[in-house]
A and B are shown apart, each in its own frame.
Chain A
Amino acid sequence: MTAVAERPVVVEEQASAPTLPEPEELRRTGSSTREDVLTIIGALCASSATTWLFYFQVFPFEGLIGFVVCWYLVLVVFYAGLTALTQPRAVVMDRIVTTAVVAAPTLIAIALASVVVMTLVKGLPALAHLNFFTEDMSGVRADDPFTMGGILHAIVGTLIEVMIAIAIAMPLGVATAVFMSEVGGRGSQLVRTVVEAMTALPSIVAGLFIYTVCLVYLGMPASGLAAALALAVMALPIMARAAYVVLGVVPGGLREASYALGAGRWETVWKVVLPTARPGLATALILGTARAVGETSPVLLTSGASTFFNANPTQDPMNSLPLFIYAAVGTGNPQMEERAYAAAAVLLVVVLTLFVIARLVAGGRRKKTR
Chain B
Amino acid sequence: MSGDVATTPPVAPQGETDSETDVPRTLVTRHGGQDRLFIHGSRAIAFLVLLIVGSIGVFLGAQSVPTLQTYGFGFFTEFRWLPSQDRIGIAAVVVGTIQVALIAIFFAIPLSLLTALFITDWAPAWLRPTLVRFVDMMAAVPGIVFGLWVLFVIQPHATEVAHWLSKYLGWFPLFHVRTDVDYPIWNQAPGYPSYAGSAFVASLAVTMMIFPMATSVMREVFSEAPVGEKEAALALGATRWAMVRTVVLPFGRSGIIGGGMLALGRALGETISVVLVISQAFEIKPYVLESGTSTISALIASSFKEASPSQLSALLTAGFVLFLMTLLVNSLAAIIVSRSRSGGVTEL
Contacts and interface: CB of A to CB of B under 8 A. Distances in A.
Interface of A: 1-2, 63-66, 90-91, 93-94, 97-98, 100-105, 107-109, 111-112, 114-115, 118-119, 122, 172-173, 175-176, 178-180, 182-183, 185-188, 190-191, 194-206, 208-209, 211-213, 216, 233, 236-237, 240-242, 245, 248, 259, 262-267, 269, 287, 290-291, 293-297, 300-301, 322, 325-326, 329, 337, 340-341, 344, 347-348, 351-352, 354-355, 359, 367, 370
A208 B304 contact: yes
Given A204-B319, A265-B3, A213 B59 contact: yes
Interface in B205-235: 208, 211, 227, 230-231, 234
Contacts of A112: 134, 138, 141
B239 to A, nearest CB: 4
Interface in B318-343: 319-320, 322-323, 326-327, 329-331, 334
Contacts of B115: 104-105, 108
Contact of B143 (A2, A194, A208, A294): A294
Contact of A101 (B43, B122, B238): B122
A351 B2 contact: no
A202 B144 contact: no
B202 to A, nearest CB: 15
A297 B149 contact: no
B239 A115 contact: no
A105 B42 contact: no
Considering the complex of A and B, which 4 residue pairs feature the smallest CB-CB distances, nearest first? Answer: A294-B142, A202-B269, A264-B2, A104-B114
Given A103-B114, A348-B142, A64 B157 contact: yes
Given A115-B141, A325-B144, A202 B53 contact: no
A287 B144 contact: no
B125 interface: yes
Contact of A354 (B118, B140, B301): B140
7 contacts: A98-B240, A112-B141, A175-B45, A197-B327, A197-B331, A204-B297, A236-B52
Given A176-B45, A325-B148, A208 B319 contact: yes
Nearest to A69: B161
B160 A63 contact: yes
A114 B150 CA distance: 11
Contacts of B227: 2
B187 interface: no
A364 B149 CA distance: 35
Interface of A is mostly: helix
B46 A191 contact: yes
Nearest to A340: B148
A240 B300 CA distance: 27
B304 A301 contact: yes
B140 A195 contact: no
Contacts of B149: 114-115, 118-119
Contacts of B269: 200-205
B319 to A, nearest CB: 4
A296 B42 contact: no
A329 B151 contact: yes
A65 B162 CA distance: 12
Contacts of A296: 142-144, 271-272
Contacts of B208: 111, 115
Given A202-B322, A265-B3, A352-B137, 16 more contacts: A64-B157, A93-B242, A101-B114, A101-B117, A115-B141, A119-B145, A183-B38, A203-B269, A204-B271, A208-B300, A242-B348, A245-B345, A264-B1, A290-B140, A300-B301, A344-B148
B11 interface: no
B56 A209 contact: yes
B39 A348 contact: no
A322 B272 CA distance: 9
B106 interface: no
